[in-house]
């Protein structure tokens, strides 16, 4: 007898429907799995056999399982549950017609328990796309499955509960917490008020949070660059429902904890500078998302920016512009979303002490120039704000570390949300994403501001992209001040965030 149940396999960010065909017969004892499965799929037979024996069930003498379509590679242990249910249907214990109505996904332990599933939300989305009304998966993954509408997610703790559902229609109450802590309210971690001094850098981060701009922080070691980057997320508005779903897709696919994402918290990814190009943008024989995709809707913090491999840094060019990255292989290509905010940090010179005092830095000007060349102009053109940080005197470190607002530079995620709302109401997008068509239609640039910008652009030798980025930053500054017009002061402040240009000019003089 041949029975059919359905499951799924993942490639990139898409799940494909897999038909699990089970044939049982009498004869010499055998259990074969065909259909281009990896080692984890081939090992399913041992887990399935053990789970069925734990329920006191004796397997048929001969079992042949085919995973169709056979020309698509299958990976992972999620086929344990559909294999077990298919065998039970072939044995007459379950109704073959009934089990074919519900896609099944899950790894079985040796005693029949269902273990948490990677990429559960992708399988639920695939079931919706294929027209199924319900899908079965481990109870642990119910919360993320609930992000997909119009499909009923059935959560089970073990194989016995699955059998009881198909025989008696009983849906169990999940006995384990699905995604621990996911029902907790949005958490706001330590804020920028804990950072002593650095009012100018805080202002730059406020602008970045309001307009979605990329930031490069330049300063000596120990001045607070990493500390500020870690706290930047505290002033970012929480994610919207669509952003949560997109981020959960990617992190669930990689098996990462998604509790914070389900609460709307934006993720911060901070890879070490030895990371490879594939690790940063994604790759592998079967493409998997890299750090820039795991930072989607969040923050990518690159400390010691010039120390990253040149190829890895240059690979950021297209994602910073388009918000996505395409990983191509011989047979196919996969596009991952990668709309993140870049926060980068670097020293102003090789020794890191340029600007502290006249005798601190021992670097020659040519050494400084060569150090700055590690980061190319095309990458710098994609970073809107380049802000210089100064060392904080040791006697001032504890003076400003007090809870609550911090004088005139106090800023909250509500303030950032208000500024973002003004931009979205005006253009339908954040200021960093303004297209040339929208810029030409008018961003409220006054005549005096435009004249100042043109003269400064010629003096600073700004590229066309750099010129446009200054306008976008100025538009955000105006939105923070609830001003519909970009004035000369807004342009002047936007131009002041060109710290690397000043250091480069010093190194070449």
CA distance 137 to 8: 11
User: What pLDDT band is residue 186 in, cutting at 50, 70 and 90?
Assistant: low
* pLDDT for 174: 61
Record the tokens describing residue 388, joined without a space.
């210089």
Whether the Cβ atoms of residue 326 and residue 317 lie closer than 8 Å to each other:
no
Please, where in the chain does CATH 3.40.50.300 lie?
Answer: 192-508
The CATH architecture annotation of domain 192-508 reads 3-Layer(aba) Sandwich (3.40)
User: What pLDDT band is residue 183 in, cutting at 50, 70 and 90?
Assistant: very low
Cα-based distances in Å from 14 to 58, 127, 195: 36, 11, 42
Give the mean pLDDT of 364-369: 90
More confident of the two residues 445 and 181:
445
Helices (H) then strands (E): counts for the chain: 23, 17
> Which CATH class, in words, describes the domain spanning 2-168?
alpha beta
User: What pLDDT band is residue 126 in, cutting at 50, 70 and 90?
Assistant: very high
pTM check: above 0.75: yes
* pLDDT for 460: 84
* pLDDT for 410: 63
Q: What's the first-to-final CA gap in the chain, in angstroms?
A: 84
CA distance 199 to 207: 12
CA distance 126 to 128: 5
More confident of the two residues 188 and 336:
336
Give the mean pLDDT of 349-360: 78
Helix-helix angle 464-480:488-496, to 10 degrees: 120
Q: Is the dihedral of CA 476, 481, 482, 486 positive or negative?
A: negative
Give the mean pLDDT of 415-426: 94
How remote is the C-alpha of 67 from its chain's centroid? 31
Tens digits of residue pLDDT in 478-501: 999 999 999 999 999 999 998 787
* pLDDT for 187: 58
Please, where in the chain does CATH 3.30.230.10 lie?
Answer: 2-168
Whether the Cβ atoms of residue 367 and residue 349 lie closer than 8 Å to each other:
yes
CA proximity to 277, closest of 301, 304, 313: 313
Tens digits of residue pLDDT in 442-479: 889 999 999 999 999 998 888 888 899 999 999 999 99
* pLDDT for 353: 83
Tens digits of residue pLDDT in 222-279: 888 999 999 999 999 999 999 999 999 999 999 899 999 999 999 999 999 999 999 9
């Amino acid at each position: 007898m041949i029975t059919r149940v359905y499951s799924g396999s993942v490639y990139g960010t898409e799940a494909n429907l897999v038909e699990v065909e089970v044939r049982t017969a009498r004869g010499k004892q055998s259990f074969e799995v065909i259909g281009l499965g990896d080692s984890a799929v081939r090992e399913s037979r041992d887990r399935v056999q053990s789970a069925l024996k734990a329920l006191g069930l004796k397997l048929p003498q001969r079992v042949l399982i085919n995973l169709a379509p056979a020309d698509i590679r299958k990976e992972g242990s999620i086929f344990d549950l559909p294999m077990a249910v298919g065998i039970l249907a072939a044995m007459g214990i379950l109704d073959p017609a009934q089990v074919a109505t519900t896609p099944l996904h899950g790894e079985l332990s040796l005693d029949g328990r269902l273990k948490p599933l990677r990429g559960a939300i992708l399988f639920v989305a695939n079931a919706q796309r294929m027209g199924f009304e319900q899908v079965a998966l481990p109870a642990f993954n119910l919360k993320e499955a609930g992000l997909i509408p119009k499909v009923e997610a059935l959560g089970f703790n073990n194989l016995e509960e699955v059998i009881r559902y198909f025989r008696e229609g009983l849906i169990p109450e999940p006995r384990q917490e699905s995604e621990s802590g996911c029902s907790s309210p949005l958490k706001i971690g330590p804020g920028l008020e804990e950072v002593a001094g650095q009012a100018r850098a805080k202002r730059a981060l406020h602008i970045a949070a309001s307009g979605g701009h990329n930031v490069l922080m330049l300063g000596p070691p120990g001045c607070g660059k990493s500390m500020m980057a870690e706290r930047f997320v505290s002033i970012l508005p929480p994610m919207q429902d669509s952003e949560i779903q997109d981020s959960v897709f990617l992190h669930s696919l990689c098996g990462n904890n998604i509790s914070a994402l389900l609460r709307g918290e934006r993720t911060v990814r901070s890879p070490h500078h030895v990371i490879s190009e594939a690790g940063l943008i994604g790759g592998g024989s079967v493409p998997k998302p890299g750090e820039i995709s795991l930072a989607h809707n969040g923050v990518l913090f690159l400390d010691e920016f010039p120390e990253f491999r040149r190829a890895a840094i240059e690979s950021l060019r297209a994602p910073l512009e388009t918000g996505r990255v395409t990983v191509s292989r011989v047979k196919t290509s996969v596009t991952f979303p990668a709309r993140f905010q870049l926060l980068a940090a670097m020293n102003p010179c090789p020794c890191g002490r340029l600007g502290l005092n006249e005798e601190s830095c021992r670097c020659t000007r040519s050494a400084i120039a060569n150090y700055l060349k590690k980061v190319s102009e095309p990458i710098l053109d994609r970073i809107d704000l380049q802000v210089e940080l100064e060392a904080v005197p040791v006697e001032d470190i504890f003076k400003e570390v007090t809870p609550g607002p911090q004088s005139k530079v106090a800023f909250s995620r509500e303030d950032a949300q208000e500024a973002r709302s003004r931009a979205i109401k005006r253009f339908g997008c954040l200021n960093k994403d303004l297209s040339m068509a929208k810029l030409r239609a008018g961003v409220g640039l006054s005549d005096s501001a435009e004249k100042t910008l043109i003269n400064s652009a010629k003096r600073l030798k700004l590229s066309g992209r750099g010129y446009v980025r200054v306008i976008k930053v100025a538009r955000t500054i105006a939105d923070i001040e609830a001003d519909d017009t970009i004035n000369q002061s807004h342009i002047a402040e936007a131009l002041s965030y060109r710290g690397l240009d000043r250091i480069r000019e010093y190194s070449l003089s």
